[in-house]
Amino acid sequence: MTSTEERKVVAVTGASSGIGEATARLLASKGAALVLGARRTDRLDRIADELGSADIATVATDVTRRGDLDRLVNTAVDRFGRLDVLVSNAGISYLGPLADGDVEGWSAMIDVNVNGVLYGIAAATPIFKRQGSGHFVTTVSTAGLKITPTMGIYAATKNAVRTVMETLRQESTDGVIRTTSINPGFVSTELGNTIDDPEIRARIQRNMDAFGLAPEAVARAIAFAIEQPPDVEIGEITIRPTVQD
């Protein structure tokens, strides 16, 4: 990925911390040109400064706003001439029993976890088709693979995205667009900060502290999928701690 001809131009949402930040740092070390998107632009600017590369652009991005995703992918084209990969990583979790009726939290998860991915697909697909190539890499979750109490709606949003990605794969067998779903298990990130229930938040944090993967482990999986030759598609990767049940 380091030569000019091989260099990938990658846009990353949710890039201000956790898996998104780790992915940005790893891909930068491999010579990729980056467009980093998140709401916390101060963190994005700090990351860009620390990486010290002229091949990094930052864009204020709220994935619940379609126009922000349009601006993110268009920045890649305007700045670097193309967009090779869109890593849709932004996500939130509001956990609790369905009986709590947290309609506001449910709606927020649908807006970020589902619509945020769909807006990215809508924004980048025309660019990918015009170029004749492109790659969607999306952070999903093991939460949708194993259904557990209090995580029902969060898991539902992730399974919705899993369905979208598989549909896009089947609709893209002409070799132009590749799709990859990344299913992380427990990872030490800030995702638990959006959990309102103090008991559930404490339980999730204990698990993260006890055996959560470093975000860099997931970043390596993302980089592996991106680095495959054009005729190879890594459809799905599940990565979890070895002790996670």
The pLDDT score that the predictor gives to residue 52 is 87
pTM for this entry = 0.92
Rounded CA-CA distance 127/83 in Å is: 7
The pLDDT score that the predictor gives to residue 82 is 98
- Of 71, 13, 21, nearest to 38 by C-alpha is 13
CATH value at residue 223: 3.40.50.720
Residue 4 covered by a domain: no
Q: Which domain holds residue 112?
A: 9-233
The pLDDT score that the predictor gives to residue 190 is 65
The active-site residue, picked from 128, 136, 154, 186, is 154
Residue 245 covered by a domain: no
Count: domains in the chain: 1
Report the pLDDT averaged over residues 78-89. 98
Which two three-digit tokens encode residue 155?
A: 């898991």
Tally Cβ neighbours within 10 Å of residue 155.
Answer: 20
Give tens-digit pLDDT for 100-128.
Answer: 999 999 999 999 999 999 999 999 999 99
* pLDDT beyond 90 at 6: no
Average pLDDT, the chain: 93
Catalytic residue at 119? no
Residue 242 covered by a domain: no
Give tens-digit pLDDT for 210-243.
Answer: 788 999 999 999 999 999 999 999 999 999 999 9
Residue 70 covered by a domain: yes
Report the pLDDT averaged over residues 5-28. 93
